Structure 1
Amino acid sequence: MLVRWQPFQEIEEVRRQFDRLFRDISTIDQETAKGAWVPASELRDDGDHLTLRLAIPDVDAKDLDIQVTKDSLAVSGERRLERKEENEKGYYWSEISYGQFRRVFALPVAIENEQVKADYTNGILTLTLPKANEVKAFKVNVATELPAS
């Protein structure tokens, strides 16, 4: 069987991928320009649940706000710069970003938002997001009839 090559469809797909890439970059640049910082994240599919990890060192757990719906998740918080003394000597440089952050994630599958668990250890926020029953794969056993004797 021969498949006809359609170069315009492939070009359109590449254009969509570039649009998505530049949209993601521009969102990060806009947030950074406002004085916010953007923590690194990773989303992993672990079968019956998703695991989202955010690297947010030096953020107090009490300063975190996590809001979850069935198909999205928002995490916001603030990393504060604390000075111990008024006459403290200045920094030579600082590459650490301070201030507020907010990340919103569109989830690839529906989740049970009332059963989300959060753990914050060593500057890593780990969210366990159980998948909704309608997206979980279930094994179905096929019953066979035995021939009549």
Structure 2
Amino acid sequence: MSSLIPRGGSLLDEFFKDVAPGFYVRPLHGDGLPSPAQIKVDVKESDGGFTVHAEVPGVAKEDIHVSLEGNVVSLRAEVRQHDQQTDGEKVLRSERYFGQVARSFALPADVDASQAKAKYDNGVLTLTLPKKQASNAQRLHIE
């Protein structure tokens, strides 16, 4: 005899799947850990260099790490979220989320890392990355 109820879940599970999709996997505070694709970046180029704006909301500036190697920019952020709600002495809910997100991308020219600057304000990381000046090439006289 076959079952009328699909295996793998109860009718109540099916109800919540239709009414509130993701009810069981979505954190109660609304945001899970961000994925690397969630670090949104805008890159602008000028004659002298590049300006990068990266959205890293909710992360302390001490937990953001930027590395430069040639023309590759790497961003890494450690995400720490701690939510706690209390009613008197009884904890009703306590959630903790920890993790890292990272993103790397290549620029069309090498960056002068010694002159690069970073600023973090209101969840936006701004990188000012001057282009590395071409070495003083000398023309050799052919004898």
5+ residue gaps in structure 2? 1-32, 136-143
* Structure 1: unaligned runs, 5 residues or longer: 1-34, 92-96, 136-149
Residue of 25, 34, 37 corresponding to 2:35 = 37
Give the CA RMSD over aligned residues: 2.5
Which stretches of structure 1, 4 residues or longer, exceed 6 Å deviation after superposition? none
> 1:56 matched to which residue of 2?
56
Query: Counterparts of 1:1-149 in structure 2 under 5 Å?
Result: 37-38=35-36, 39-85=39-85, 87-89=91-93, 99-134=99-134
- Which residue of structure 1 lines up, in the alignment, with residue 26 of structure 2? none
Question: Is the CA contact (8 Å cut-off) linking 2:65 and 2:76 kept in structure 1?
Answer: yes
Counterpart code for 2:127:
L
1:124 and 1:54 mapped to 2: Cα distance? 6
| Cα pair 1:37 1:98 within 8 Å, conserved | no
Matched-pair contact (CA < 8 Å) for 1:80–1:99: yes
Contact kept? 2:85, 2:93, Cα under 8 Å: no
CA contact (8 A) 1:73 1:105 kept: yes
Partner of 1:27: none
* Distance of 1:112 and 1:42 partners within structure 2: 19
- Which stretch of structure 1 is more off in the superposition, 82-91 or 64-73? 82-91
Q: Secondary structure at the match of 1:78?
A: strand
1 CA distance for matches of 2:45 and 2:121? 21
Aligned-pair CA distance for 1:124: 0.3
Mapped contact 2:85–2:94 kept (Cα < 8 A) = no
Structure with the higher fraction of residues in strand conformation: 2
TM-score, normalising length: structure 1: 0.57
Aligned residues: 96
TM-score of the two chains, using structure 2 as the length reference: 0.59
